[in-house]
Amino acid sequence: MSNLSLLYAFIGGAIVGAGAAVLFAPEKGEDIRARIADLLRKKGIICSDNEIDALVEQLTTEIDD
């Protein structure tokens, strides 16, 4: 395999990998926090941004354990 073919294969793999990463990446934390706040408000629970952050941190800790 020539060096040029190897370079093209590497670049092609990097492009495919980057595309897959974008497609399968989870939502940003900010978006998830907004969704949690919306769900809580629909249930009649009003929370501040700090309380949402604390809730997300607690849930993340419990999931990791």
Closest CA to 54 of 26, 25, 27, 40: 40
Q: Which of 18, 60, 55 lies closest to 40, judged by CA?
A: 55
Are 9 and 19 spatial neighbours (Cβ–Cβ below 8 Å)?
A: no
The tokens describing 45, both together, are 């629970």
| CB 61, CB 42: distance < 8 Å | no
> Domain count of the chain?
1
DSSP 27: P
- For residue 1, give every residue at least 6 positions away whose Cβ sits within 8 Å of its Cβ, in sequence order, or none: 9
Q: Which domain holds residue 36?
A: 3-64
Q: What is the pLDDT along the chain (65 residues), one digit of tens a residue?
A: 577 788 778 877 887 777 777 667 677 777 877 887 888 788 887 878 888 778 777 877 877 76
Q: What is the pLDDT of residue 51?
A: 82
Per-residue model confidence (pLDDT) at position 40 = 79
